Amino acid sequence: MSGGVDSSVAAALLQQAGHEVVGCFMRLGSPGEALETPIAEDAPTCRLDASASPNTSKGARIGHQGCCSINDAADARLVSAKLGVPFYVVNFRNDFGRIISYFEEEYHAGRTPNPCVRCNDWLKFGKLRQYAEQLGCDAVATGHYARVATTAEGPRIRRGLDRAKDQSYVLFGIGPQALARMMLPIGEMEKPAVRELAREFGLPVFDKPDSQEICFVPDDYADFLARRAPERFTEGAIVDEAGRELGRHDGHQRFTVGQRKGLRVAASIPLYVLRKDPVRNEVVVGPRASLEVSGVEATDVTWYADASTREAGEEITCTAQVRAHGVPIPARARWNDGILRVQFDRPESGVAPGQAVVCYDDQERILGGGWIRATLDQGDRGIVPA
């Protein structure tokens, strides 16, 4: 229970259906608070791992609109009291350091991270699932806009009914084991109906705004990184595709693939960030057409479809998604030898190493996904690595 309307209604629906509900709040920090600040003893807490992660708190402060703040904990507690269910605060601040470190290292390596996916993999359906097992619970339920579908190959994640709010993409990495003990009560609902149910249930969060930002980045992500490790930001060249220097930058981490504004380069045509080279400390820019890629290769693959498609290296017709709220791309996927290769049927712009690619079947169920290590350019000249 994050203290938002979605997880609150999910809890209420489960209780209404006759389930025994236990509310758990993941304690990561509160607005403006460094992550090592002591936890107020205002609710039962459970510390699953007392080992501290290095550099967890340096520059890491929780934003005002991100999830999991102490204000959100208070809202979750009020909802739990209204429903009459037990409520626990689970101390994940040490574990959360792993996500912050991942976020930092990906940017320093020239890639584009997705901490929300990792939070679901490692915490909500990782650590929290372990805690649920300790409590003797049968499943972990959340307020995600996605569905669990039953197939011959086992349970699969399916897009939520509300396509505008669909969150299936950020759940792709949880794996079959966690999916077998997962419940998504609002997946068959649209957001206005969820808010109306919250009002009918008398939940005090029925009109609470949605979270909008990365919870541990209260302002600009590059400023966050610079505060944490200023020595890793060094001046370098902004170059064109031929390697000619067009300008200078004060840290490649301040740029993202597809970025147009803020390049500080004079040119006769609009220029976009095409890729970053952290080894040479260069930012490569070019025209919009050069942003288009024809496919990707991904590793660290999570696969749900029939295992024979992997073993035979069979090509599967699918749709692919490379952003949390991206438009599905008609594609063909092949998983073999630990590599997921996805060939798009139409060019896609702004695809960056570090993002996730998730493949869906024609019934909007996830076949599998992985983390993009390289892109295939339009001239079919080969893979462009991270």
Same domain? 115 vs 246: no
Question: In this structure, are 54 and 197 located in the same domain?
Answer: yes
Query: What's the domain range around 40?
Result: 5-143+185-201
pLDDT the model gives residue 29: 54
Q: Is residue 302 part of a domain?
A: no
Across residues 72-82, what is the average pLDDT?
94
Mean pLDDT, the chain, rounded, equals: 87
Does residue 250 share a domain with residue 197?
Answer: no
Give me the pLDDT at residue 310, please: 57
Catalytic residue among 24, 119, 318, 359: 119
On whether residue 78 sits in a domain, the answer given is yes
CATH of the domain at 95: 3.40.50.620
* CA dihedral of 53, 54, 60, 61, whole degrees rounded to 10: 50
Q: Which of 116, 215, 318, 359 is catalytic?
A: 215
Residue 200, sorted as left (phi over 0), alpha (psi -120 to 50) or beta, turns out to be alpha
Higher pLDDT, 93 or 241: 241
Q: What is the pLDDT of residue 384?
A: 46
**234-276 pLDDT tens trace:** 999 999 999 999 999 999 999 999 999 999 898 999 999 999 9
Same domain, 107 and 246: no
- Domain match, 11 and 88 both: yes
* 249 and 139 in a common domain: no
Predicted TM-score (pTM) of the model is 0.87
Confidence (pLDDT) at 377: 79
> Which pLDDT tens digit goes with each residue over 169-212?
999 999 998 999 999 999 999 999 999 999 999 999 999 988 76
Choice between 114 and 27, residue whose per-residue pLDDT is larger: 114
The answer to whether residue 137 is catalytic is no
How many domains would you assign to the chain?
2
Predicted local confidence at residue 307, as pLDDT: 62
Task: pLDDT band for 32, please (50, 70, 90 cuts).
Answer: very low
Would you say residue 386 lies in a domain? no
Do 22 and 112 lie in a common domain?
yes
Based on the residue annotation, tell me whether 215 is a catalytic residue of this protein.
Answer: yes
Same domain for 136 and 244? no
Residue 99 belongs to a domain: yes
Q: How confident is the model at residue 138 (pLDDT cuts 50, 70, 90)?
A: very high
Contact criterion met (CB below 8 Å) for 252 and 276: yes
